[in-house]
Amino acid sequence: MEFFHRATSFPFMSTRKLWYGLSIVLIVISLASLATRGLNLGVDFTGGVTVQAEFPAAANRDAVITALTAAGYADPQVTIFGTSRDIAIRLPPTRQSTEEVRGRIEQILQTLDAGARIQQVEVVGPQIGGELQRSAVQALAATLLLIFGYIAVRFHTWRLSLGAILAVLHDPILVLGTFSLTRTTFDLTVVAAMLAVIGYSLNDTVVVFDRIRERFHAGRRLDPVTVLDQSINQTLSRTIMTKVVTLIVVVALYALGGPVLRGFSEALIIGILAGTYSSIYISSAVALDCGLTATHLLASAARKPLDDLP
């Protein structure tokens, strides 16, 4: 079985302006949504209380909200997740311990249905949230910086580094945008998923770069547009194959992994799709528009043997 029986020759680079436009539109939509609607941050980031409870029969969301409000909990957010019998309750930060919260909420829920059971209580202090946001951003920034450096050293040109970083930034922005538009809860597991997305996107980009370097070695007089098109075409079946395999696992996780893994797998699916696109259209195209030619890749490579790997 093969996706492409003959070598493909899609003219990727000639249509790049169109794809730039599409990416810019998507990024503007994402950023606009982030700026206006923000993210539906989980208690990991905001501080507060979440309670997960299970009812013996289908839960009545409105009744739960009414009962909680009547008991003095201001503005409770109640969502039904997983099966119709599971609910998640979000409450603003409190000084009560899990013990107290569990006792009170269980009492309230049992007035609705005596069989209601509390499954999980989380109380996160407000000071944790701000710190986590900062440390997540720091981790991201440090990672991107290191990768920029590594690619610049390995491929001898900042043009590819820039292309890689832009491609890598592109994907999490789209994931963030989607989470902002759909109001899906954004918690630490989603951050982990975004990091995985960055890893994948980078992986793809570097594989294409590797091929570009090889093509330039084969013929240094070649036109950069031709080389880039050839490189992407030659790695295309690998790109699609790898993505299909990863998506198989992630989709299984989305469908079967239960509610706790839902946000995580959703972020991965969006990210993997975006990453495939960005590694084809963004990373190489940006390098091309920055004036990438054979000499950039080969100038210093000529002095060194081809593969003295780390």
Tell me whether residue 50 or residue 178 sits nearer to another protein (CB atom).
Answer: 50
Tell me whether residue 38 or residue 149 sits nearer to another protein (CB atom).
Answer: 149
Residue whose pair of structure tokens reads 């001898």 in the numeric block:
156
For residue 89, list its beta bridge partners: 51, 78
Tell me whether residue 33 or residue 160 sits nearer to another protein (CB atom).
Answer: 160
To another protein, the closest distance from the beta carbon of 294 in angstroms equals 17
To another protein, the closest distance from the beta carbon of 283 in angstroms equals 12
Neighbours of 84 (CB within 10 A): 13
Is 261 exposed, middle or buried (CB count within 10 Å of its CB: 0-12, 13-18, 19+)?
Answer: middle
Query: Which residues have C-beta within 8 Å of that of residue 95, sequence separation ≥ 6?
Result: none
To another protein, the closest distance from the beta carbon of 247 in angstroms equals 9
Write phi, then psi, for 167 (nearest 5 degrees). Answer: -65, -40
Neighbours of 183 (CB within 10 A): 11
To another protein, the closest distance from the beta carbon of 183 in angstroms equals 21
Tell me whether residue 16 or residue 213 sits nearer to another protein (CB atom).
Answer: 213
To another protein, the closest distance from the beta carbon of 302 in angstroms equals 17
User: Tokens representing 105?
Assistant: 């909420």
The whole-angstrom distance between residue 93's C-alpha and the CA centroid of its chain comes to: 28
To another protein, the closest distance from the beta carbon of 215 in angstroms equals 12
Tell me whether residue 135 or residue 300 sits nearer to another protein (CB atom).
Answer: 135
Cβ contact 190:267 at 8 Å: yes
Tell me whether residue 8 or residue 20 sits nearer to another protein (CB atom).
Answer: 8
CA distance 137 to 139: 5
Cβ contact 175:270 at 8 Å: yes
To another protein, the closest distance from the beta carbon of 164 in angstroms equals 8
Tell me whether residue 29 or residue 253 sits nearer to another protein (CB atom).
Answer: 253
To another protein, the closest distance from the beta carbon of 28 in angstroms equals 27
Q: What is the DSSP string of 173-230?
A: HHHHHHHHHHT-EE-HHHHHHHHHHHHHHHHHHHHHHHHHHHHHHH-TTS-HHHHHHH
Tell me whether residue 33 or residue 263 sits nearer to another protein (CB atom).
Answer: 263
CA distance 136 to 74: 30
